[in-house]
Amino acid sequence: MIPVLCGEMTTLFKYARDRNSTNCMLDSTETLTIENVVGTAGIGQEIDLQRLAIDLEGADYDPDNFPGIIHRLQGAKPTVLLFRSGKMVCTGGGSVTSMHNAFDIAFDRLRTLGIPVDESPDVVIQNLVMSGDLGNQLNLNAVAIGLGLEQVEYEPEQFPGLIFRVDDPDVVALLFGSGRIVVTGAKSPEDGRNGMKTITTQLNELDLLES
């Protein structure tokens, strides 16, 4: 299970708060939208970051504060991180397509600088964050009891949402009293939708979706 860190929870709460609404829809999965896609790739060789930072447009390299190059793509939301090992991480993509496009741009720029990169390096989605709306308000105290303390974390004095770990698919959901939901840890959009279906089914079976 991918852990939900405190810093991430603050960001995820912002997703839920900013997108708050009361969408009463028969299929709540239709409300899910992708907020962030984190993917990884590699070029199979070490990179001289000091030299690359000089030649690569949009590169920010401060090894005292971060061990890799932060490569911000002009006109694109995603950011690509490059590490000495040759590993690359893309974050901030609003879709799977934008993540792949960001990697393609970075690969092309490395090739232009004389760094050999395979024609189609493997790109793997590590974490996909989606937000949506269950269409009804939730009594989080009742939800915590109904879903079982083994899979639930709920400490409202520290964080206003309930953390629910879904077994299949392997995702983490943040539930808010407004009915907003954030699904994280998904490896694909389908994982996110299936996770929300699982949650909705369990809440309905327990009669915990308030009208």
Q: Looking at the predicted structure, is the pLDDT value of residue 69 above 50? A: yes
> Given this model, what pLDDT does residue 74 score?
75
Map tokens 């993917």 to a residue.
Answer: 39
> Given this model, what pLDDT does residue 63 score?
96
**What is the DSSP secondary-structure string of 144-163?**
HHHH-TTTEE--TTT-SSEE
Interval 125-166: pLDDT, tens: 999 999 999 999 999 999 999 999 889 999 999 999 999 999
Q: Looking at the predicted structure, is the pLDDT value of residue 22 above 60? A: no
Total residues found in the chain within this entry: 211
pLDDT-based confidence at 55, cuts 50/70/90?
very high
Radius of gyration of the chain (CA): 20
What distances in angstroms separate CA 136 from CA 13, 36, 105, 106, one per listed residue? 18, 24, 42, 43
Span 58-65, average pLDDT:
95
> Given this model, what pLDDT does residue 28 score?
78
The answer to whether the CB of 75 falls within 8 A of the CB of 107 is: no
Cis, peptide link before residue 3, omega less than 30° from 0? no
**What is the DSSP secondary-structure string of 13-59?**
HHHHHHT------S-GGGG-EEEEEEEEEE-SS---HHHHHHHSTTE
Span 104-111, average pLDDT:
95
Q: Looking at the predicted structure, is the pLDDT value of residue 105 above 60? A: yes
